Each structure stands twice: as structure tokens, then as C-alpha cells.
Amino acid sequence: MYARRRRWYFAMMGSCIGLFVLAWAVVRLWSVPAAVAMCLVAMVIPPVAAIMANRRGPDDRWWDDPSGDPKSDEWWDELDGKRRRPESHDQ
């Protein structure tokens, strides 16, 4: 999942740079409004790329990982409605 998100991010950022360069190196010679429009489209790409690169997929589990503090984990499990099996202290 991470590699796919990274590829999409670099592809989107590469297209953003490509749009800027193409707009002011080539397109402006024929049409300045078209070059400005291309820059406006390129301006929207970086935030979208950042959002897509940082979103979590359905297989990315992070919100319910244990913290390592048994008391805190027990408290959060109780709040979330998850009951842990009582640990037996009998020996």
C-alpha cells in the first residue's frame, strides 16, 4: 500500500512540475490565458497529492494498536466497548 501511494504522489508532483514548465516555456507563446489556466490546475495538485499520500488504507491498522501501558489499554478497550478476557492470576 505504501509503495502505491508513494508512486501516485511522485507521479502527481511530477505532473505538477511538468504543467508549470510546459505552461511558461511553450504554451505562453501561443496563449497566455491557457498558460495561466495550466498553472491554476498545477496549483491544486500538491495539496491533493499530499492528502492522497498521507491517507490510511483499509489494511493500515494504527488506531487500535496497544500502547504498551496495560492500564491505559484496558481503559480504552472499555471505552470502545471491547472487553478483554479477565486474566487469571491463579497459579
Query: How many structural domains does the chain have?
Result: 1
- pLDDT tens across 76-90, in order? 777 777 765 566 555
Instruction: Report which DSSP code applies to 65.
Output: S
How much is the pLDDT for 38?
A: 95
Q: Do 22 and 38 touch, CB atoms closer than 8 A? A: yes
Q: Does residue 23 sit within a domain?
A: yes
How confident is the prediction for the chain on average, in pLDDT? 83
Q: Does residue 41 sit within a domain?
A: yes
Question: Is 0.85 topped by the overall pTM?
Answer: no
Q: Does residue 8 sit within a domain?
A: yes
Q: Does residue 89 sit within a domain?
A: no
Q: Does residue 18 sit within a domain?
A: yes
Tell me the average pLDDT across 57-75. 71
The cell numbers describing 15, all together, are 505532473
Domain with 52 in it: 2-57
Say yes or no to pLDDT of 16 above 90: yes
Q: Does residue 36 sit within a domain?
A: yes
Q: Do 4 and 57 touch, CB atoms closer than 8 A? A: no
Q: Does residue 17 sit within a domain?
A: yes
How much is the pLDDT for 4?
A: 82
The cell numbers describing 33, all together, are 490565458
How much is the pLDDT for 63?
A: 63
- Classify the C-alpha dihedral 25-31-34-39 as positive or negative: positive
Q: Does residue 16 sit within a domain?
A: yes
Q: How far is Cα 44 from Cα 15, in angstroms, rounded to an integer?
A: 11
